[in-house]
Chains A and B, each alone.
Chain A
């Protein structure tokens, strides 16, 4: 049945002469944003904050201190992290008493579903960000799985200031998404999960994280 469906649909579509009556208008070339490095950081921060993300722009050697301060103020049952990433190594080296336990994501979801859905926080790296609309680019991988930025109530993301692009189009281009091939999943994330489905009242924290904290490393 379905083999026929394919042929039938395609041949119906192919059989149609358009007699040049279906015009494709010329695509205007739109100049994207062209901000300086500082402006990009500033714009990204503002856009993310409007979407209720907490953003800290910090010097690269100070961010771990800020992270620890943040974690100490909260009673978290654990921090999910990806041990096989550079970020994971940094965290392991810096971990100490009084912080929520580091919980590695190393088993297939089938074996750890329960704990993934009950852990309070997760920390991930990012592949970059988009200043124009305010969004982080996440590029989950074998080392850093997809659910890390989804199931915990608090998502902490670490971003290198160098990787902030003006626009989405620029990021695709400059990072060579096409050339290197798309991974299983790419995500743009602009804040904690939200909804406005009841009377358009904006509320944060629906099915995804309730909080997003972004460290932008200078």
Chain B
């Protein structure tokens, strides 16, 4: 059976990541630390469970009235003086941003951390238009210097250690001395960026929560770069996925607590920045224009299915990454898409289609760790199972995920048919089981068996089948 291309690429990435000892070491300690911090903050499991249920309820309530809330958000924002734009695709969103930049003759854009902008590949797009888009979050700044993309949605440069960053700064930043002292590295970045904050033409940011009730955009951060980008330049452009809206102002406190606690184990970040309008008359600072770009890019397709819709509850805390046995061994780049880890595994195949990203749904052991820690209780395993099924499902009417059935092959369909026959015919099953007990050890190691046994010892077949053992114990043979 020929592998589809996405599978082949993913397998190559996995082999590369697993073989990278440095990467594995960098990730191991970081992920353990992040998980530990989260555990300490939410030590009272009962209280945490309550908070989680509240978070889930708030996100579901918002999604259950999504079109109405988006309209309300638009209306309130507009009344506050924020200009609202809608984009169906990443390309449309990029065009909207470019149009705003052109109108202001902007050539220097300073950016706060935004996963949606990664999804849009905004930096790359702007670069092609001759516009400098500078990442200002320290982690993002580091990887941008190295021409990389984030490997984690909260700590984007977590795959690098300080020696690697020391070399990078020394090589890429003019006059930067070589130092492995974290404080000094930090100071180098601060110095470089301060001038950019002072002179940037336009600031671009993401949005953590958008409050429909008041038309307020909320941003969570520690460094102050987000505040710089949204306060210092004359124009601010905020980018949000359409699922980021919440209904009420009072929905914000519990979500904020869940977000910062799950992400980094902090009771709150250094800054929680709530923006409701551009500079009002008489005010001395703040941007004269604030734009909000609401992006669909496949989300309304996810919304269509009530089970899969739970994917949109995500508040992008990254806890599922930190606790995932696969992510913590591979890091984010191996996934080959913007959103890695468990959330990436359920989100990306739905955003991009199974034919393009379906392999991500296979990157799970079904251990359920993600489901246990997710602050808004997304039912990962259910969604993963569904996506995996759809990868093989050809029937049009039943299946909605774009690209479903891309892995359907006649050989595989036939195999499953035989499997079903085997299991529904007692006589066949008996003969088959006896054969396997006797000759199983001598099965030729070809195809998937060969692959599987390449790094594993095949276990011996039991002399008796489970069915026989159960009969011996006198268990009911129902069916």
Asked if B127 lies at the interface with its beta carbon under 8 angstroms from chain A, I say no
Asked if B249 lies at the interface with its beta carbon under 8 angstroms from chain A, I say yes
B157 with A207: CB separation less than 8 A: no
A19 with B306: CB separation less than 8 A: yes
Known: A9-B300, A105-B284. A193 touches B231 (CB 8 A): no
Asked if A74 lies at the interface with its beta carbon under 8 angstroms from chain B, I say no
Question: Please, how many angstroms separate the alpha-carbon atoms of A196 and B421 in the complex?
Answer: 57
A207 with B197: CB separation less than 8 A: yes
Chain A 49-65 interface mask (CB, 8 Å, partner B; 1/0) = 00100000000000000
Asked if B136 lies at the interface with its beta carbon under 8 angstroms from chain A, I say yes
Question: Please, how many angstroms separate the alpha-carbon atoms of A203 and B179 in the complex?
Answer: 15
Question: Please, how many angstroms separate the alpha-carbon atoms of A21 and B213 in the complex?
Answer: 26
Chain B 271-314 interface mask (CB, 8 Å, partner A; 1/0) = 11111111110111110000000101000110110110100000
Instruction: List the B side residues contacting A190 at CB < 8 Å.
Output: 267-271
B186 with A195: CB separation less than 8 A: yes
A108 with B300: CB separation less than 8 A: no
Instruction: List the B side residues contacting A200 at CB < 8 Å.
Output: 30, 33-34, 155, 158
Question: Please, how many angstroms separate the alpha-carbon atoms of A178 and B87 in the complex?
Answer: 30
B88 with A9: CB separation less than 8 A: yes
Chain B 27-54 interface mask (CB, 8 Å, partner A; 1/0) = 0011001100000000000010011011
Asked if A186 lies at the interface with its beta carbon under 8 angstroms from chain B, I say yes
Question: Please, how many angstroms separate the alpha-carbon atoms of A181 and B79 in the complex?
Answer: 12
Instruction: List the A side residues contacting B29 at CB < 8 Å.
Output: 199
Asked if A68 lies at the interface with its beta carbon under 8 angstroms from chain B, I say no
In A18-53, which residues have CB < 8 Å from any B CB?
Answer: 18-19, 21-28, 30, 47, 51
A13 with B300: CB separation less than 8 A: yes
Nearest residue (CB) in A for B59 is: A24
Known: A150-B231, A207-B136. A22 touches B224 (CB 8 A): no
Binds A, one of B5-13, B250-258, B334-342, B467-475: B250-258
Asked if B138 lies at the interface with its beta carbon under 8 angstroms from chain A, I say yes
**Which of A10, A18, A150 is within 8 Å of B224, CB to CB?**
A150
Binds A, one of B60-68, B431-439, B447-455: B60-68
Instruction: List the B side residues contacting A14 at CB < 8 Å.
Output: 67
Count residues of A near B (Cβ-Cβ below 8 Å): 78
Binds B, one of A95-103, A119-127, A129-137: A129-137
Nearest residue (CB) in B for A20 is: B306
A135 with B87: CB separation less than 8 A: no
Nearest residue (CB) in A for B267 is: A133
A182 with B224: CB separation less than 8 A: no
Asked if B343 lies at the interface with its beta carbon under 8 angstroms from chain A, I say no
Known: A2-B92, A109-B232. A187 touches B274 (CB 8 A): yes
Known: A135-B268, A182-B214. A203 touches B300 (CB 8 A): no
B272 with A135: CB separation less than 8 A: yes
A150 with B227: CB separation less than 8 A: yes
Instruction: List the B side residues contacting A130 at CB < 8 Å.
Output: 268
B225 with A147: CB separation less than 8 A: no
**Which of A12, A27, A113 is within 8 Å of B300, CB to CB?**
A12
Question: Please, how many angstroms separate the alpha-carbon atoms of A13 and B64 in the complex?
Answer: 10
Known: A2-B85, A13-B67, A197-B155. A30 touches B254 (CB 8 A): yes
Asked if A1 lies at the interface with its beta carbon under 8 angstroms from chain B, I say yes
B222 with A27: CB separation less than 8 A: no
B300 with A188: CB separation less than 8 A: no
Give chain B nearest CB distance to A195 CB in angstroms: 5
Asked if A198 lies at the interface with its beta carbon under 8 angstroms from chain B, I say yes
**Total A-B pairs, Cβ < 8 A:** 250
**Which of A178, A185, A209 is within 8 Å of B231, CB to CB?**
A185
Instruction: List the B side residues contacting A168 at CB < 8 Å.
Output: 252-253, 256-257
Instruction: List the B side residues contacting A134 at CB < 8 Å.
Output: 267-268
A196 with B155: CB separation less than 8 A: yes
B157 with A197: CB separation less than 8 A: yes
Question: Please, how many angstroms separate the alpha-carbon atoms of A209 and B194 in the complex?
Answer: 12
B53 with A185: CB separation less than 8 A: no
Nearest residue (CB) in A for B161 is: A199
Asked if B210 lies at the interface with its beta carbon under 8 angstroms from chain A, I say no
B86 with A51: CB separation less than 8 A: no
Instruction: List the A side residues contacting B185 at CB < 8 Å.
Output: 198
B279 with A184: CB separation less than 8 A: yes
Chain B 87-114 interface mask (CB, 8 Å, partner A; 1/0) = 1100010011000000000000000000
Give chain A nearest CB distance to B305 CB in angstroms: 9
Give chain A nearest CB distance to B275 CB in angstroms: 6
Q: List 25 A-B contacts (CB under 8 A).
A: A2-B85, A2-B92, A8-B88, A9-B88, A9-B294, A13-B70, A16-B304, A22-B60, A28-B54, A110-B234, A117-B197, A145-B283, A145-B286, A168-B256, A173-B250, A182-B249, A185-B231, A188-B268, A195-B186, A197-B137, A203-B186, A206-B189, A207-B197, A207-B224, A208-B224
The 7 closest A-B pairs by CB, nearest first: A208-B224, A197-B139, A193-B224, A188-B272, A22-B306, A133-B268, A6-B86
* B interface list, Cβ under 8 A from A: 26, 29-30, 33-34, 47, 50-51, 53-54, 56-58, 60-61, 63-64, 66-67, 70-71, 85-88, 92, 95-96, 136-139, 142, 155-158, 160-162, 165, 182-183, 185-186, 189-190, 193-194, 197-198, 213-216, 222-225, 227-228, 231-232, 234, 242, 249-250, 252-254, 256-257, 264, 267-280, 282-286, 294, 296, 300-301, 303-304, 306-307, 309
